[in-house]
């Protein structure tokens, strides 16, 4: 329990610092280049089912695949449709890709990745 709390605090500190790398929590595949980071750290959202997600945004990610199509209902970012995203190495759910009129980005849920 203490280990988990410390891990969460470390993750938040690294995100605030902005020099983190992101890897899949399940298989360890490196997913993110910190140079493509977008936004100001953690963003918290609650979906219509009441599930809370903390997201970090990236313009680009490596070894990530999209599942299914894009949906605009209940998007965390108004004006952006979302598609579920998974680790390209092991298939673990890691968040969503959001697509707008002229740009797009990934929103990675901190529950699914390790920040190091």
Closest distance of CB 7 from Zn ion, Å: 18
Q: What angle do CA 21, 25, 30 make, to 5 degrees?
A: 40
Is residue 55 within 8 Å of residue 38, measured between CB atoms? no
Residue 42 sits in the site that holds Zn ion (CB under 5 A): no
| Nearer residue to Zn ion within complex by CB, 66 or 90 | 90
- Taking CB under 5 A as the binding criterion, the range among 12-20, 39-47, 80-88, 96-104 that sits at the site for Zn ion is 80-88
Residue 92 sits in the site that holds Zn ion (CB under 5 A): yes
Closest distance of CB 1 from Zn ion, Å: 25
Q: Which of 26, 75, 83, 84 binds Zn ion (CB under 5 A)?
A: 26
Torsion 26-28-29-32 (CA) sign: positive
Q: Which residues bind Zn ion (CB under 5 A)?
A: 24, 26-27, 29, 87, 89-90, 92
């Amino acid at each position: 329990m203490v280990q988990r709390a410390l891990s969460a605090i470390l993750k938040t500190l690294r995100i605030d610092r902005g020099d983190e790398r992101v890897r899949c929590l399940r298989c360890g595949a490196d997913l993110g280049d910190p140079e493509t980071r977008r936004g100001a750290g953690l963003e918290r959202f609650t979906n219509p089912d009441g599930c809370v997600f903390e997201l970090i945004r990236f313009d680009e990610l490596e070894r990530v695949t999209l599942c299914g199509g894009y949906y605009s209902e209940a998007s965390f970012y108004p004006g952006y449709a979302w598609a579920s995203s998974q680790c390209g190495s092991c298939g673990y759910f890691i968040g969503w890709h959001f697509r707008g009129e002229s740009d797009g980005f990934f929103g990675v849920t901190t529950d699914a990745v390790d920040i190091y």
